[in-house]
Structure 1
Amino acid sequence: MNVLLLSQFFSTTRGGGEYVFSIIAKKLAEDNKVFVITNKIEGENYIKHKNIQVIFVPPVLQYRGGLPPGFSDNIRYTINAVRQGLKTIKNEKIDIIHSNNFAPALAGSILSSLTSKPHITTVHDIFSLCGKNYWKQWGKQSDISRLNVLVAPLFEKLSIKLRYSCIHTVSEATRDDLIKFGAKKPIHVIHNAVDMTPQNNIPPNPFQFVYIGRLVFYKNLEVVIKAIDIIKNTEPKIKLTIIGSGPHKQTLQKMVQDLKLEKNIQFKGYVDADEKIKTLSESNALVFPSLCEGFGLVILESFDQSRPVLVSDLRPMSDIVSHKQNGLVIDPHDENLWAEHMLHLSKNPSESSEMGRSGNHVLQTKYSQDTLYKKIMEMYQTVVKTRD
């Protein structure tokens, strides 16, 4: 099968949805030919594989801490992806188009209309259902344009009304949100997977916890910072390492300074894959207090290193993490409860180790790349047969 993937970001290191699309491409390339139309990202390394052809179209983008491309960048990608896509579909005899969110979904819809090729779009999350004030809070962050705040919710509504044969989503929670949001076409839930990496045999520091991800308001890191402030009074060795960046970083840094937690909380910014794995291995557990997610890919990355995860008691995180089995599921607004659980794990590291091993087992049995590939191919074959 010849597959055309459309994604503005096509990263092996940054962004959950973009990273998963690169995994899908690599698995597809084992038995199929894959063509990817994407924007070139400054400083990014791209997959090199005999069955993957990465085609760059303007504009060249900078990775801005997880911020989406600007409105004009989206329009330029859509126009250029359609132009290039028409050539690729004709010359490479493409069987199916698979797009990843927003502008690529629009490009895929146009290409499907012009060529009658089946189109699948991937939807990771529906931010408009993350609370009535979501977009207002999003706009309060630094470097967020007013136009982005106005256009993004409209495009989110438009994206599920485009031309596609079915929707691929990554969790049952997002499937339910799509139905609430008015999606009419079939929805295929195919869970994410990650690259398996060798285990680092580094003894974890029982007093160190780690957060990995974008620094945006809905990641809710304030609750963990407040928990650290509580814990330090009885356990001054408590540490939190924050990996990632984003428009909410300055707000979080000011909070840390105001609470005089500079010795307890470290902002590392973006790090390479090796450093990320090393930091995970050195930590007692991953903290992930997010209020809104499509999946939460970093949970699987933590399981990969046999580290448990402390998550918000919200779906889909609470669907992936089983309380006291492979992590802890905690009220996202109760810093006292977060402090209690983190302090307990720091004093009982054997419990963390046991839950981490359980998480690794869950990763290997439920979220493997082979399972991802099998279900993706089943979805493709179903769509192609239906069109035939």
Structure 2
Amino acid sequence: MPDGYLAMVLHAHLPYIRHPEDPGIMEERWLFEAITECYLPLVQSFEKLVKDEVHFSITLSLSPPLVAMLNDHLLQERYLRHLDALIRLAEAEIYRNRDNTAFRDLAVMYFERLNVVRRLFEEDYGGNLLLPIQSLQALGVLEVITTCATHGYLPLMQTREARRAQVQLGVEQYIRLFGRPPAGMWLPECGYVPGIDEILKEFGIRYFFVETHGITNSSPSPRYGVHAPVYCPSGVAAFGRDPESSKQVWDRDTGYPGNPFYREFYRDIGYDLDLDYLAPCLPGGNIRCDTGIKYYRITGKGHNKESYQPGLAEQRANMDARNFAFNRGEQLKYLSGRMDRKPIVVAPYDAELFGHWWYEGPIWLENLCRACDTGEYGVKMTTPANYLGDYMDNQVVNLAASSWGEGGYNLVWLNPTNDWIYRHIHRAETAMVDLADLHPAAGGAVRRLLNQAARELVLAQSSDWAFIIKTATAVQYAVQRISDHIGRFNTLALRLSEGEINEDELADFEKRDNIFPEMDYSIYSRHYRVKHLRSGEKGEALKIVMLSWEFPPRTVGGLARHVNDLSRALARLGQNVHVITCPAPETPSYQLLEGVHVHRVDQSLLTSKDFMEWVGQLNVGMVELAGELMGGEPFDLVHAHDWLVGDAAITLRDRYGLPLVATIHATEYGRNRGIHNELQQRIHQLDARFALQATRVICCSNYMANEVNTLFKVPRSIVHVLPNGVDPSNLGRPKQLVPGKPDTVSGEKTVFFIGRLVPEKGVQVLLEAIALLLPHIPELKLLVGGIGPYEAYLRSKVRELGLNDRVVFLGYLDESRRNQYLKLADVAVFPSLYEPFGIVALEAMAAQVPVIVSDTGGLSEVVSHGMDGYKAPPGRPDLLAYYIREILINPGLARDLSRQAWKKVLTVYDWQSIALGTLEVYREAITSYSEAGQAG
């Protein structure tokens, strides 16, 4: 019986290099050298092991760029020409070294070896090295996994959409190649930050790898260190790199590849011999580079090198392989005595180390597999997937950020030599996301353009370019590649914005950068899950009972509009939505409105004039009405909005066994900036009960989510943030005005506010700002829309500040009148002191009115300062006045802010996306409630 397991992991990756316009480009040789010295020798070793019936397991990560290049007919043809040139050079070397027995024998070895490589590549594998890899996976000796699209370094990507696209492209290419999803994924450079695992889970990835300190620095501390996997909260497993096995191979001073008997990588005839002699084998005939023909062994650290002796090197590789097996056996024996399971040593390496950098690497690896199969060392080879099959119960931890690069974090890919690239890549990232959202169903040339833009972006994101710049190797080439891809992306985006697509130019770009021919640009959309969540996992519609105390035409605040728009969006997605709400004058007790069943409680049940008693009567009526509806097909879930319907929601949950989703739009504590009386205390307690009894909680902003977590101790893991939305089609800016209503005269500058007139909305601050502005802009006029208990105070404030002829109170505004006054506005201002979200600001943005908001609560998340609006600190009339003046005196600035805000509304705050996010919460709540019931 083995004492434990060894997981050898080889990560095979090269940057995507394909230049149809230049058949002699040097960088294409990176692929050719890797095939000759690494990939093909490794495949040969694996096939020999299979033939000899040696039991072994290797995990092989194949990057999408490498797969694309290995599968590319142009590169396959160029590789054969490259081999032919090397064979001729080796033949010439036999003659040139006819008087040097040692070198002649080595030249013969290279000549014979190159001919074998050519025969295997062309005749046995049909020019495609992926075919034997597929066969080896089918035999069960290789577990092939994938990595991100172009090996983009995920921790430094700005958007979740960009990270997700990198993962998705890698997974989809793997499925096309192997006919099934990958079990694992190699994170480029082992770069991890929290949240990446959640994306992997979305695509069914079971495991990934991290550097040692990603595990050891996790919280809580891992019981078994890196010698057992851990689960992220998402349920995806992480395996950590074992430092001992890593050091034995990687260490530049003590690692195996530095043994004096091994071939010296840095002495190649490409640099030693006459240029004219080498010319037929060099790029362009005059660029020196490695040929792969090397005559010396490492010997020592000095310049004097002895000739390479393959026989002695092979013997040493066998010795080192057995030494490695022995050391792993001793390590596992020690660990197994301290663990209640068999430990696993995870040993990941760059595949290119084996054969390219370390010429004897494939021989070493083959002998290691043979040594482990003898059972002599107590080591059994396995794969991560097999280990997880044996040990499904693993510790759950929060992994630490990490990478396997120098310093253990981001230093290699973000430093003074390469930091300049990110402002260009990040700008392209966000632009690509916006383009995908602005063109959800493009066809023809527009679709081709968007797909090519996505290709250019992923190619620019390759981690290789930043690495090359940092290590100062092929710097000029790396800089050129970034410049080319970003340049092409920008060109395509400009062509689209101008509506002038140059099809010849587009075709040229498609020919140059043809990776991912099945590219679908919509994967960058914030709303991409539309395709996967239309009506749930199996296509069934959910039956939802939605409780809200207000619903149009009974509208008090933003809650009514939110429930109305959300319910209609859910209905459009095929869901069966029943809203139970208050009665409204001259409105039927039941209506079917755009697919939503609206049921109103009987007015006769609501008799109390005491507010809290009235709320109680409303909840009783809602429960009775829901019970009647339960007589037919039962509901799947209760979705309740705010504490006023909390009693009914909890009763329905308990009586009918339904999961409860609670949307908390605001809290009593937040509205009043504290709890100051008995009524507020009672409502605060109802807020808390409502939140704590819910299966899942939805908040409209991160600000509100944190408030709910802080006030009520609701676990952050069950709180989801979904913004309010807006329907731009309802916010046109009509030319006509309401007859007889206050208007502005020609030349006036109009500031508009709409909202409930309560202290927390901050209108009193806006009035002070207007007073500060009037000496500078005497034509200023403020229109105040809305009603509320603070109106009398605000009117007295107007008189106090001498603003009587400059401020107009418009009263309650329905949607039509709101739109008409938005048309008048030069700027909309929302100076709230407390604001969970601020739907009115979003509506102004959708009406293409420049906005200024307080830098507080959800408003802070809606507006990006200086990009699509301005933010002023709450309670600061001086700064509010400054930003109002900036917009009023700079029409160009106002137009730019409005244009960017409009784009944000279209791409971030559309109801379809929010409804889909809500459906995801519903599914999660149903699953969680069901599992809790089974556990109980």
TM-score by length of 1: 0.89
User: Which residue is 2:688 aligned to?
Assistant: 157
Task: Give the superposition deviation at 1:281.
Answer: 2.1
Separation in 2, partners of 1:253, 1:323: 31
- Aligned match of 2:643: 102
Structure 1 residues 42-100: Cα deviation after superposition (integer angstroms, max 9, x where no partner): 377997426322211144799xxxxxx91111100111111222222332321111011
> Could you say what secondary structure the match of 1:230 adopts?
helix
- C-alpha separation in 1, matches of 2:767 and 2:675: 24
Report how far residue 178 of structure 1 moved. 1.1
Task: Select the residue among 732, 736, 739 that pairs with 1:199.
Answer: 732
Runs of 4+ in 1 over 6 A off after TM superposition: 43-47, 203-206
Kept in 2: contact 1:118–1:165 (CA 8 A): yes
Aligned to 2:48: none
Bigger fraction of residues in helix: 2
CA distance in 2, matches of 1:29, 1:43: 25
Q: 1:212 offset after TM fit, Å?
A: 0.8
2: CA distance, partners of 1:226 / 1:60: 46
Q: Which runs of 5+ in 2 are unaligned?
A: 1-541, 737-743, 931-936
Query: In 1, distance between residues paired with 2:605 and 2:902?
Result: 35
Superposed displacement of residue 41, structure 1:
3.0
Query: What amino acid is aligned across from residue 34 of structure 1 in structure 2?
Result: V
* C-alpha contact 2:726 2:843 (8 A) present in aligned 1: yes
- For 1:287, the aligned partner's letter is V
User: Residue 7 of structure 1: which of 527, 541, 548 is its match?
Assistant: 548
Deviation of 1:348 after TM superposition, in Å, equals 1.3
Matched, 1:55 2:55: no
Cα shift at 1:32 = 1.8
Shift in Å at residue 153 of structure 1? 2.2
| Matched position secondary structure for 1:82 | helix
Say which SS state the counterpart of residue 90 (structure 1) adopts. Answer: coil
What is the aligned-residue identity percentage? Answer: 23
Aligned equivalents of 2:640, 2:894: Cα separation in 1: 39
1:346 aligns to 2:888 (yes or no): yes
Equivalent pair of 2:752/2:783 in contact (CA under 8 Å): yes
Cα offset for 1:344? 2.4
Distance 1:368 1:241 in 2: 28
Give yes or no for the alignment of 1:317 onto 2:847: no
The superposition leaves residues 254-274 of structure 1 with CA deviations (integer Å, 9 ceiling, x where unpaired) of 110122211111000112212
* Superposition map of 1:18-37 within 5 A: 18-30=560-572, 31-37=574-580
Q: Does structure 1 conserve the Cα–Cα contact (< 8 Å) formed by 2:753 and 2:830? A: yes
Q: Distance in 2 between matches of 1:102 and 1:61?
A: 20
Q: Does 1:287 align with 2:857?
A: no
- Partner Cα separation in structure 2 for residue 347 and residue 9 of structure 1: 41
CA contact 1:206–1:349 (8 Å) conserved in 2: no
Q: Which has the larger radius of gyration?
A: 2
Asked whether 1:41 is paired with 2:581, we answer no
**Contact 1:171–1:191, Cα closer than 8 Å, also in 2:** yes
Of structures 1 and 2, the one scoring higher in RCO (CA 8 A, sep 6+) is 1
1:238 corresponds to which letter in structure 2?
L
Alpha-carbon offset, residue 157 of structure 1? 2.6
Contact 1:4–1:36 (CA<8 Å) still a contact in 2?
yes
Among 699, 710, 716, the alignment partner of 1:180 is 710
Q: Which amino acid aligns with 1:159?
A: F
Kept in 2: contact 1:42–1:60 (CA 8 A): no
In 2: Cα distance, 1:43 partner to 1:323 partner = 44
1:190 maps to: 722
Give the aligned residue type for 1:42.
Answer: P
Structure 2 residue 651 is matched with structure 1 residue 119? no
Is the contact between residue 752 and residue 827 of structure 2 (CA under 8 Å) also seen in structure 1?
Answer: yes
Any conservation in 2 of the 1:41–1:60 contact (CA below 8 Å)?
A: no
Q: Report what 1:141 is aligned to.
A: none
2:667–2:684 CA contact under 8 A, matched in 1 = no
Query: Is contact 2:605-2:621 (8 Å) kept?
Result: no
Structure 1 residue 270 corresponds to structure 2 residue 812: yes
Q: 1:50 to 1:172 in 2, by over 3 A?
A: closer
Residues 11 and 284 (structure 1), Cα distance of their counterparts in 2 relative to 1, 3 Å cut: same
Question: Does the 8 Å contact 2:826/2:888 carry over to 1?
Answer: yes
CA shift in 2, pair 1:41/1:61, >3 Å? farther
* TM-score normalized by the length of structure 2: 0.38
Aligned to 2:238: none
2:900 to 339, 348, 358: 358
Instruction: Output the CA distance in 1 between the equivalents of 2:605 and 2:872.
Output: 37
Structure 2 equivalent of residue 217 of structure 1: 759
Q: Distance in 1 between matches of 2:929 and 2:690?
A: 21
Contact between 1:244 and 1:268, CA under 8 Å: does it hold in 2?
Answer: yes
| In 1, Cα distance between equivalents of 2:668 and 2:925 | 27
Give the CA deviation at 1:386.
3.2
Call closer, same or farther: CA 1:366–1:40 in 2, change over 3 Å. Answer: same
Evaluate the alpha carbon distance shift between residue 240 and residue 301 of structure 1 in structure 2; reply closer, same or farther with a 3 A threshold.
same
Cα offset for 1:351? 1.1
Question: What is the identity, as a one-letter code, of the residue corresponding to 1:41?
Answer: A
* Cα distance in 1 for residues equivalent to 2:850 and 2:675: 32
Aligned partners of 2:782 and 2:808 also within 8 Å: yes
SS in 1 for 2:789: coil
Distance of 2:682 and 2:804 partners within structure 1: 38
Q: 1:91 to 1:298 in 2, by over 3 A?
A: same
In the alignment, which residue of structure 1 is the partner of 2:699? 169
Structure 1 residues 325 and 206, CA gap change in structure 2 (3 angstroms): farther
* CA 1:250–1:47: 2 relative to 1, 3 Å: farther
For 1:92, what is the secondary structure of its paired residue?
Answer: coil
Partner-residue secondary structure (3-state), 1:294: coil
Select between 81-90 and 122-131 the one with higher mean Cα deviation: 122-131
- In the other structure, the counterpart of 2:620 is 79
- The answer (yes or no) to whether the contact 2:855–2:873 under 8 Å persists in 1 is yes
Conserved? CA contact 1:127–1:292, under 8 Å: no
| 8 Å Cα contact 1:39/1:60 also seen in 2 | no
Equivalent residues in 2 for 1:124-139, closer than 5 Å: 124-129=665-670, 134-136=674-676
Count of aligned pairs between the two proteins: 371
Aligned mates of 2:592, 2:808 — CA distance in 1: 35
Q: Is the 2:583–2:600 contact (alpha carbons within 8 Å) kept by the matching residues of 1?
A: yes
Larger fraction in strand:
1
Residues 1:50 and 1:233: Cα distance change in structure 2 (over 3 Å): closer
Aligned counterparts of 2:864 and 2:604: Cα–Cα separation in 1: 42
Kindly indicate whether residue 893 of structure 2 is the aligned counterpart of residue 386 of structure 1. no
AA paired with 1:193? G
The answer for the alignment partner of 2:792 in structure 1 is 250
Measured in 1, the distance between the counterparts of 2:793 and 2:734 equals 35
Does the 8 A contact of 1:40 with 1:60 survive in 2?
no
CA contact (8 A) 2:868 2:901 kept: yes
CA separation in 2, counterparts of 1:355 and 1:317?
16
Q: Is the 8 A contact 2:733 2:822 kept in 1?
A: no
> SS of the residue aligned with 2:615?
helix
Question: Secondary structure at the residue paired with 1:209?
Answer: strand
Quick check: 2:748–2:779 contact (8 Å CA) kept in 1? Answer: no
Partners of 1:274 and 1:108 in 2: CA distance: 33
CA distance 1:201–1:24, change in 2 (3 Å):
closer
Q: Does structure 1 residue 302 correspond to structure 2 residue 835? A: no
Alpha-carbon distance change, 59 to 74 in structure 1, aligned in 2, over 3 angstroms: farther
Residue 380 of structure 1: CA displacement? Answer: 1.3
Would you say the 8 A contact 2:784–2:810 is kept in 1?
yes
Residue 706 of structure 2 aligns with an amino acid whose one-letter code is D
How many Å apart are 1:147 and its aligned residue?
Answer: 6.5
